[in-house]
Amino acid sequence: MKPLSEINYKEIGLKVGLEIHQQLNTAAKLFCNCKPELFKEEPEITFLRRLRPTQSELGQVDPAAYFEFQKGVKILYEANRATSCLVEMDEEPPHPLNREAVDVALTAALMMKAKPIDEIHVMRKTVIDGSNTTGFQRTCVIALGGKIEVGEKTVPIEHVSLEEDAARKTGEEEGNIIRYRIDRLGIPLIEVATAPVIKSPAEAGEVALAIGRILRATGKVIRGLGTIRQDINISIPNGALMEIKGLQELEQLPLVVEYEVRRQLNLIGISEELRKIGANKEEIGDEFFDVTDVFRQTKCKVIRKAVDKGQRVLAVKLPRFGGFLKRELAPDFRLGTEMADRARFWGKVGGIFHTDEMPAYGITQEEIEELGKAVKAGKQDAVVFVGDTPENARDALKAVVERAREAIDGVPQETRAPNPDGTSRYMRPRPGSARMYPETDIPPTQITEEYVSVVRSRLPELPEQRLERLAKEYKLNEKLARQVLDSEHSELFEVVVKESNISPTTVAAFMTETLKALKRDGVQVEKVSNDQIREIFKGISLGAMTKEAIPEIVTWLSKHENKTVQDAVSSIGLRMLSREELERIVDSTIERNKNMIIERGANSFGPLVGMVMKDVRGKADAALVSELVKEKLEQMKKRHSTDEDSVFYR
């Protein structure tokens, strides 16, 4: 496989477009009055629905939806009363479009110089996986044709839309039941779609970051993992347009793009080689062989289990595919992995076996030879086999055959989902174009010129302007200013600086580095409220505690919900030491370290302050400690200078 550095993205003609989805922190959901929140407890209500293939008005049925319907997949929806009502359950028509959400979307759209449309029309977009109780997702365009500046580049924004978020999957059980929790269903999402002008993985990351900053600048987004999700459209010439849906980790975006490019380049290479050696689609037959007898005595646990259950082992020959299934498309990701993903999706099997990875998993060379004879495979062929119910095994092998035929053509168009390691897996075929039709339950909403000018008159400052202002107004260096801009506590920073007398650099370092470090150490800093953080800094301003105590206070508060900063201070015993108490500690530290002082003279000042601070951390101000240490050393020096034997301060 080509190392990353060897891929010249410009030369290969990479094109990437992004669709960024961000949850909005509005008072209510998009089409009802429920709170846009998730719940952790056991559900109060559950209801079972059969997944039905939704038909668009043009009469098209999604093949994947129809397939799931045939399999009799049922959905168990979970809900509670605080986060959902009859609207989410599809028992009551949607309420009118949430105006607060429109406000936020319009604000973001204007910041991206997009042109608002005159009238908002809510549309239905077919959803096939049960994540919407209605079988469709409601979406509406708010503005078209914007642009943002990212470094030197102008990136066109195709549209800014509002959508309802989908239910979230909470489990999948045997017997074809999928669990979805509908608390997330209906949370407003703003969608920002760029034109496919991004030319490299790094640029994709920068564009996503820039859009994220603009959305956060509205002050109305929900924070935390899963609240922002990105769909990535990737294409290269001779490859295929691929959609990777639902990436949550922004930092991973460049890697996902890189791996997808590698995957497509490698698939193109495989297709060329296959054709060169004469592989053709007609040669790959739908003939499946029952090879259960070959594995009667097998030591392979998975196959053993299937055979013991009375299931079958079915196999198919892939002519001239020998060696190709183990080809890496991305790190630890092979053509065989692609076939297994397809088999899992269409056959509901746990996985597949193939001869490119044999002997392994307890399967012996003898069994492989028997298998080859049974399906009449030669050395140049690959054999794929699977143990399951005859129906599932057949569906799985059909999917494998389909994928093998596509490998001869090149790169199949797919919708994919990201894996945690940056690779992606098959999600479903690319849907046809006719997926949208009008939502008849919701009347259109006007966007008047007056309304637009009101929103325009109170636009927040753009991230780049804000960055400049933060650096200038608070004398932060560029790195720290940027960290503040991107931090979750960006707004809080300015509030705290204004109401305390602590230096902006100290506050900024807390909001960025200290909180990050605590989080890394496993402290749940998100449990500490903004008001509590303000209280802490007010306390430091008033001299009630020192800034060295901040990490301890935040840690305590994160573990004690509904307690105050005052509670934290008294519980930790963070009372500030009096000058007298502090003096005693300094004296005893000096006494204990007499030898060191005699030996090192003036150079002992630093270590002494360090030792005292370690003892009094959080209970005394560092400036006072060094003042006292200095004073005591001076006194000591004076005493000793009258003494003939003095070795002090030589």
Min separation Cβ 205 and Zn ion, Å: 36
Min separation Cβ 161 and Zn ion, Å: 21
Tokens 């890697």: give the residue: 255
Stretch that binds Zn ion, among 85-93, 426-434, 595-603, 638-646 (CB under 5 A): 85-93
Stretch that binds Zn ion, among 49-57, 81-89, 286-294, 476-484 (CB under 5 A): 81-89
Q: What is the DSSP string of 423-457?
A: -EEEEEEPP-S--EEE-TTS--EE--HHHHHHHHH
160 binds Zn ion (CB under 5 A): no
101 binds Zn ion (CB under 5 A): no
Min separation Cβ 87 and Zn ion, Å: 4
Tokens 């990535």: give the residue: 232
Helix (H, G, I), strand (E, B) or coil at 627: helix
Cβ proximity to Zn ion, 30 vs 620, nearer residue = 30
Min separation Cβ 35 and Zn ion, Å: 9
Cβ proximity to Zn ion, 85 vs 234, nearer residue = 85
Cβ proximity to Zn ion, 88 vs 165, nearer residue = 88
Stretch that binds Zn ion, among 33-41, 263-271, 447-455, 456-464 (CB under 5 A): 33-41
Closest alpha carbon to 423 in 327, 352, 338? 338
Stretch that binds Zn ion, among 26-34, 118-126, 332-340, 504-512 (CB under 5 A): 26-34
C-alpha to C-alpha distances, 424 to 68, 129, 243, 263, nearest whole angstrom: 22, 18, 10, 10
127 binds Zn ion (CB under 5 A): no
Query: What amino acid is encoded at 281 in this protein?
Result: K
Find the binder of Zn ion among 18, 64, 87, 192 (CB under 5 A).
87
Stretch that binds Zn ion, among 77-85, 308-316, 380-388, 587-595 (CB under 5 A): 77-85
Peptide bond into 607 cis (omega under 30): no
Q: How far apart are CA 557 and CA 565, in angstroms?
A: 7
Cβ proximity to Zn ion, 89 vs 622, nearer residue = 89
Give Cα 151 distance to the centre of its chain: 24
Cβ proximity to Zn ion, 185 vs 471, nearer residue = 185
CB 336 within 8 A of CB 360: no
In the region spanning residues 442 to 461, those forming contacts with Zn ion, defined by CB under 5 A, are none
Closest alpha carbon to 4 in 257, 296, 250, 267? 257
How do strand 333-334 and strand 328-330 relate by DSSP bridges? antiparallel
Min separation Cβ 32 and Zn ion, Å: 3
Min separation Cβ 26 and Zn ion, Å: 13
Min separation Cβ 86 and Zn ion, Å: 7
Stretch that binds Zn ion, among 27-35, 135-143, 255-263, 502-510 (CB under 5 A): 27-35
**Please, is 495 exposed, middle or buried when counting C-beta atoms within 10 Å of its C-beta (0-12, 13-18, 19+)?**
middle
Find the binder of Zn ion among 85, 148, 291, 554 (CB under 5 A).
85
Cβ proximity to Zn ion, 80 vs 389, nearer residue = 80
Min separation Cβ 322 and Zn ion, Å: 56
Q: How far apart are CA 94 and CA 124, in angstroms?
A: 12
3-state secondary structure 373-429: HHHCCCCCCEEEEEEECHHHHHHHHHHHHHHHHHHHHCCCCEEEEECCCCCEEEEEE
Q: How far apart are CA 360 and CA 365, in angstroms?
A: 9
CB 49 within 8 A of CB 135: no
**Please, is 71 exposed, middle or buried when counting C-beta atoms within 10 Å of its C-beta (0-12, 13-18, 19+)?**
middle
Longest dimension (CA), the chain: 107
Cβ proximity to Zn ion, 95 vs 469, nearer residue = 95
Stretch that binds Zn ion, among 28-36, 148-156, 226-234, 486-494 (CB under 5 A): 28-36
Tokens 């030491």: give the residue: 577
Min separation Cβ 442 and Zn ion, Å: 15
Stretch that binds Zn ion, among 34-42, 365-373, 543-551, 555-563 (CB under 5 A): 34-42
Helix (H), strand (E) at residue 386: strand 382-388
Q: How far apart are CA 415 and CA 430, in angstroms?
A: 5
34 binds Zn ion (CB under 5 A): yes
32 binds Zn ion (CB under 5 A): yes
Min separation Cβ 28 and Zn ion, Å: 8
Residues binding Zn ion: what is the number (CB under 5 A)?
5
Min separation Cβ 38 and Zn ion, Å: 14
φ, ψ at 388 (rounded to 5°): -170, -170
> Which residues in this chain contact Zn ion in the complex, by CB under 5 A?
32, 34, 85, 87-88
